[in-house]
Amino acid sequence: MARLELNEKEKKMYAEQLSVVLDYVEMLNEVNTDGVEETCQVTGLEDVVRSDKVEECPPDVEEKIIGNFPEKLGNLLKVRAVFSEET
Amino acid sequence: MSSALNKLTIQQAHDGLKKKEFSSVELTKACLARIKKRNSELNAFITVCEELALDEAKKADEMIKKKKPFDGSRSKQKMLLGIPFCVKDAICVAGARSTGAAKILDNYIPPFDATAIKKIREQGAVLLGKNNCDAFGHGPSNENSMYGPVKNPYDLTKVAGGSCGGSAAAVADNMCIFSIAEDTGGSIRQPASFCGVVGLRPSYGRNSRYGIMPMASSLDTVGPMTKTVEDAAILMEIMAGRDERDATTVGDKSIKSVKSIKNLRVGVPREYFESEGMDKEVKKIVEKKIKSVETHRNASIKIIDVSLPMTKYAIPVYYIIVPSEDSSNLGRLDGIRYGVRAEADNLYDVYAKSRAVGFPEEVKRRIMIGTYALSAGYYDAYYRKAQKVRTLIIQDFNRVFEQVDILLTPVSPFPAFGIGEKKDDVLAMYLADVFVGPAAVAGLPAISVPAGKTKAGLPVGLQIIGPRLREDLVLKFASLCEKTK
């Protein structure tokens, strides 16, 4: 899920480091949180909306976005096939 | 005077430009000369935009000559016209390479300005370049940058702090007039403390984050790093406010509404002084500073001992919530639409290889911790639990702010540490944020102002934490602390 390529040496190193961190955060279990609400955000704002209007992308910005494509064919973004024959 | 132009504050530079004592080109050249002299040693910049800066400075000078940009009330004046600044590399700036200090974005040139930067540039400020930082803001030492660590201008063997080490070093070393940075869990305040400059983390929701490379969306803030508190206030007035592109922004702009801070009740939370690993010299310097504020003649400040018992849980909460949100936010960096794409035969390998070579170790650690903490079966035990403890930390602050108006604490338990000293000890590194984490988790405004120096000459910062959206109080009080000796 993390989509990271790791070699065996890295796997061992991260496994050790992550265990230390996960052991450390265990200390939260000391805290009684029965009946406590979760905090997802701190602003108290609710139902923040904006008008649903399409904004045109200026041509020079469009050009810059396309300029950042790692691989392209004309103005199209080139990517590897999503489906392969084997799967 | 021209040799010292780079040392000016925003207010001083503004006054000088207004009186035509010097031009923006002269001011910009002074900063660029300092960068040229010092950057190879300090490594505070990943990208320097020399040509662009001189071009923008010329335009500013023309405007000063032809129009009257400095007329009218302060809110209408172009306070920043012609003033050179720099920006943390994890904030997007149109036309300037913005890597976030990670190789996966080594070639990325944003087509747009982050809202905060747009507001600064609309004032006519001159962009000098992009500051080095821990990749995507991950870390308190700037050693997680894929472009090398930033060195502390006060001692080249020490870190500049993180994640905004480059911004702090650039301001401290007078390579710029100010820098715009980002604070998720201490990234502005801790390096400000290590480098002896002023750094403000605004209340969550005060400034728009649109255009910053998002780290932990429920904590991220954009704030100023400056030479004086006055300058931080100038920048906050310009950056604050509602932005349609960041739904968490609040409209209220009362940065300077407080008139007097007489008879203020100031809380000193004991947990911040009894922490394990607290450096004795730092403790002494901060206590002395607090004493000097207390005895300040005209203020009638009342110091009150208070307790914030949840303090020690802020870091474990932080290191669940932040990596979780990090892992989700960093999903966008996959080498597909922008950035550096690794060669591979199939799509999955393009993702996995691009991320393997494009991210430093700390970014990978956070992605793995976060993915784990959010996965089915672990979500309740980690993320939800952390969010509940977060509520208790907020309640802790709310309770204390019924007794006092403002809080004073150290910024860091120790002064700048040696480069490489904590690099292999992940937990020790995380614990460096022990005093800056709580205010971040609670979404409160907090500032670091210089409190003094250790015998070895390293700066130590004093942290002032205020109630939510009380930047006015924090800034006004900080300006008093700045003056006391």
Q: Which of residues 39-68 of A touch B (CB under 8 A)?
A: 39-43, 45, 48, 50, 61, 64-65, 67-68
Q: How far apart are CA B255 and CA B91, in angstroms?
A: 23
CATH architecture group of domain B2-239: Alpha-Beta Complex (3.90)
- Give the pLDDT score at B276: 80
Nearest-neighbour CA in chain B from A55: distance (Å): 13
CB contact B205 to A (< 8 Å): yes
CA-based nearest residue in chain A for residue B347: A80
Beta bridge partners of B306: B269
Instruction: Indicate the residue type of B393.
Output: I
* CB-neighbour burial class of residue B262 (10 A; exposed 0-12, middle 13-18, buried 19+): exposed
The pLDDT-based confidence of B277 (bands split at 50, 70, 90) is: confident
Summarize pLDDT for B196-219 with one digit per residue, the tens. Answer: 999 999 999 999 999 999 999 999
Q: Which of B248, B312, B345 has the CB atom closest to A41's CB atom?
A: B248
Cβ–Cβ gap B427/A41 under 8 Å = no
Report which of B163, B271, B150, B151 is spatially closest to residue B213, judged by C-alpha positions: B163
Mean pLDDT value across residues B83-102: 98
pTM score of the predicted model:
0.96
- Is A68–B205 a contact, with Cβ atoms under 8 angstroms apart? no
What pLDDT is stored for residue A76 in this prediction? 96
Does the CB of A32 have a partner CB in chain B at under 8 Å?
Answer: no
pLDDT, tens only, B363-374: 999 999 999 999
What is the structure's pLDDT at B3? 56
CB contact under 8 A, A4 and B250: no
For testing contact with chain B, the best of A50, A80, A84 (most B CBs within 10 A): A80
Question: What are the Cα distances from residue B405, in Å, to B301, B314, B470?
Answer: 11, 21, 10
Mean pLDDT throughout B129-150? 97
Q: What is the mean predicted confidence (pLDDT) over A6-22?
A: 95
- Residue B36 falls in the annotated catalytic set: no
What are the CA-CA distances from residue B434 to residues B221, B317, B347, B362 (Å)?
A: 18, 11, 41, 18
Catalytic entry in B29, B78, B88, B289: B88
Query: CB atoms < 10 A from the CB of B470, how many?
Result: 22
Question: Nearest CA of chain B to the CA of A48: how many Å?
Answer: 6
| Four-point Cα dihedral B80, B81, B84, B85, nearest 10 | 40
Tell the residue number behind the tokens 């007078």, with chain if given: B174
Q: Where exactly does CATH 3.90.1300.10 map onto chain B? A: 2-239, 265-311+385-483
Chain A hits for B336, Cβ within 8 Å: 70, 77, 79
pLDDT at residue number B105: 98
Residue type, B234: I
Q: What's the mean per-residue pLDDT of chain B?
A: 95
Q: B385, B469, B470: best mutation site toward chain A, by most A Cβ within 10 Å? A: B385
pLDDT of residue B254 exceeding 90, the answer is no
Query: Is the Cβ pair A18, B320 closer than 8 Å?
Result: no
Q: Tell me, what's the pLDDT at B188?
A: 98
Mean pLDDT for the stretch of residues B258-278: 90
Query: Count of A–B CB contacts within 8 Å?
Result: 151
Catalytic one of B23, B141, B145, B187:
B187
Whole-number average pLDDT of chain A: 92
**Per-residue pLDDT reduced to its tens digit, B342-353:** 999 999 999 999
Q: Considering only residues 385 to 414 of chain B, which have any Cβ-Cβ distance to chain A shorter than 8 Å?
A: 385-392, 394
CB B449 within 8 A of CB B425: no
> Of all residues in chain B, what percent carry a pLDDT higher than 90?
91
Which residue bears the tokens 């701190």? Answer: A42
Q: Which of residues 322-381 of B touch A (CB under 8 A)?
A: 327, 331, 334-341, 344-353, 355-356, 359, 364-365, 367-369, 371-372, 375
Could you tell me if B130 and B46 are in contact, meaning their C-beta atoms sit under 8 angstroms apart? yes
- Confidence bin at A86 (pLDDT 50/70/90): low
Chain A residue with minimal CA distance to B361? Answer: A14
Residue numbers in B near A55 (CB within 8 A): none
| 3-state SS class at A23 | helix
Q: Is residue B151 annotated as a catalytic residue, yes or no? A: no
Q: Domain map of chain A by residue range?
A: 54-82
Rounded to an integer, what distance in angstroms lies between the CA atom of residue B363 and that of residue B139? 9
Q: Which residues of A touch B348 (CB under 8 A)?
A: 3
HEC sequence for chain B: CHHHHHHCCHHHHHHHHHCCCCCHHHHHHHHHHHHHHHHHHHCCEEEECHHHHHHHHHHHHHHHHHCCCCCCCCCCCCCCCCCEEEEECCECECCECCCCCCHHHCCCCCCCCCHHHHHHHHCCCEEEEEECCCHHHCCCCCCCCCCCCCEECCEEEEECCCCCHHHHHHHHCCCCCEEEEEECCCCCHHHHHHHCCEEEECCCCCECCCCECCCCCCCCEEEEEECCHHHHHHHHHHHECCECCECCCCCCCCCCCCCCCCCCEEEEEHHHCCCCCCCHHHHHHHHHHHHHHHCCCCCCCEEEEECCCCHHHHHHHHHHHHHHHHHHHHHHCCCCCCCCCCCCCCHHHHHHHHHHHHCCHHHHHHHHHHHHHHCCCCCHHHHHHHHHHHHHHHHHHHHHHHHCCEEEEECCCCCCCECCCCCCCHHHHHHHHCCCHHHHHHCCCEEEEEEEECCCCCEEEEEEECCCCCHHHHHHHHHHHHHCC
Predicted confidence (pLDDT) at residue B464 exceeds the cutoff of 50: yes
B223, B202 Cβ separation under 8 angstroms: yes
Q: How many Å apart are CA B368 and CA B319, to the nearest integer? A: 12
- From the list A5, A18, A84, the residue facing B365 with the nearest CB is A18
pLDDT digits (tens, 9 = 90+) for B161-176: 999 999 999 999 999 9
Nearest chain B residue (CA) to A23? B316
Residue A17 has its nearest CB partner, among B351, B365, B443, at B365
What proportion of chain B, given as a percentage, has pLDDT over 70? 98
Q: How far is A85 from chain B (nearest CA, A)?
A: 11
CA distance B71 to chain A (A): 33
- Provide the phi-psi class of B468: left if phi over 0, else alpha when psi is between -120 and 50, else beta: beta
Take residue A3 and report the two structure tokens written for it.
């989509």
Task: Evaluate if residue A85 carries a pLDDT over 70.
Answer: no
Which one of the listed residues B24, B141, B163, B179 is annotated catalytic?
A: B163
Domain B265-311+385-483: state its class. alpha beta
- Please give the DSSP secondary-structure letter assigned to residue A26: G
Mean pLDDT of the region B414-436: 94
**Interface predicted TM-score (ipTM):** 0.93
Pick the range with the lowest mean pLDDT from B33-42, B75-84, B180-189, B335-344: B75-84
Task: For an interface test with A, give the residue of B328, B389, B394, B427 to mutate (most A CBs within 10 A).
Answer: B389
C-alpha closest to that of B181 among B252, B103, B85: B85
Q: Using DSSP, state whether A43 is helix, strand or coil.
A: coil
Write out chain B residues lying below 8 Å of A28, CB-based: 313, 316-317, 320, 385-386, 389
Which pLDDT band, with edges at 50, 70 and 90, does B260 fall under? Answer: confident
Bond before B328 cis per omega within 30 degrees: no
Q: Is B163 a catalytic residue?
A: yes
Residue B1 — pLDDT band, cuts 50, 70, 90? very low
Q: Is residue B319 pLDDT above 60, yes or no?
A: yes
Determine the pLDDT at residue B313.
97
Task: Give chain B positions within 8 Å (CB) of A6.
Answer: 356, 364
**Does the pLDDT at position A52 exceed 80?**
yes
Band of residue B248 on the pLDDT scale cut at 50, 70, 90: very high
How close A41 gets to chain B, by Cα (Å)? Answer: 6
